[in-house]
């Protein structure tokens, strides 16, 4: 199943795709967040790229409680799912940006490029966590949980 993951922010969103076999999670792009226009672009992207399911990072605090920005991410994901007709999963994104920063630094990405890539890398981290959880539960790639 091909997934599109979204790291939702108030100013920009990071995007990542999985492959059909749910083995790889790859950063795609970072887009400006412009609600309606962004939703239209994402719906078109989903169609063009053969996306079969959506994963949206849900901001949570260390204790697991949703952060103040979680309702906006939830509403955005639900709006996109309604427009595309695709199934939607929310994924705890706690520390995804820190993990993405660490991975980019380990790969030798220069600081000025890391900043531009961070949100897409965070979306890839979010998607990797979802795919790992699905594998751990024994859910086949062609099936939703």
For the chain, give every domain's residue range: 3-136
- Contact yes or no for 39/45 (Cβ under 8 A): no
pLDDT band at 21 (very low <50, low <70, confident <90, very high): very high
pLDDT number for residue 127: 95
Query: Which tokens go with 140?
Result: 């086949």
Q: Considering the domain delimited by 3-136, tell me its CATH architecture.
A: 2-Layer Sandwich (3.30)
Arithmetic mean of pLDDT, 86-90: 97
Condensed to tens digits (0 to 9), the pLDDT of residues 69-85 reads 899 999 999 999 999 99
Q: Which residue has the tokens 């965070």?
A: 122
Pairing verdict, β 3-7 and 25-32: unpaired
Number of other CB atoms surrounding residue 37 within 10 Å: 11
Q: What is the pLDDT of residues 93-116, one digit of tens each?
A: 866 777 777 776 788 778 778 777
Helices and strands, number each (H, E), in the chain: 4, 5
Which phi and psi (to 5°) does residue 143 adopt?
-125, 145
């Amino acid at each position: 199943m091909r997934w599109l993951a979204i790291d939702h922010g108030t100013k920009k969103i990071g995007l990542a795709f999985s492959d059909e076999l749910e083995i790889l999670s790859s950063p795609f792009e970072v887009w400006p967040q412009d609600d309606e226009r962004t939703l239209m672009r994402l719906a078109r992207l989903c169609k063009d790229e053969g996306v079969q399911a959506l994963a949206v990072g849900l901001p949570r605090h260390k204790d697991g409680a949703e952060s103040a920005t979680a309702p906006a991410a939830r509403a955005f994901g639900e709006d996109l799912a309604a427009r595309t007709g695709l199934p939607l999963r929310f994924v705890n994104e706690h520390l995804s940006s820190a993990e993405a920063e660490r991975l980019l630094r380990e790969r030798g990405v220069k600081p000025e490029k890391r900043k531009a890539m961070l949100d897409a890398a965070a979306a890839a981290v979010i998607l990797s966590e979802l795919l790992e959880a699905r594998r751990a539960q024994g859910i086949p790639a062609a099936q939703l949980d």
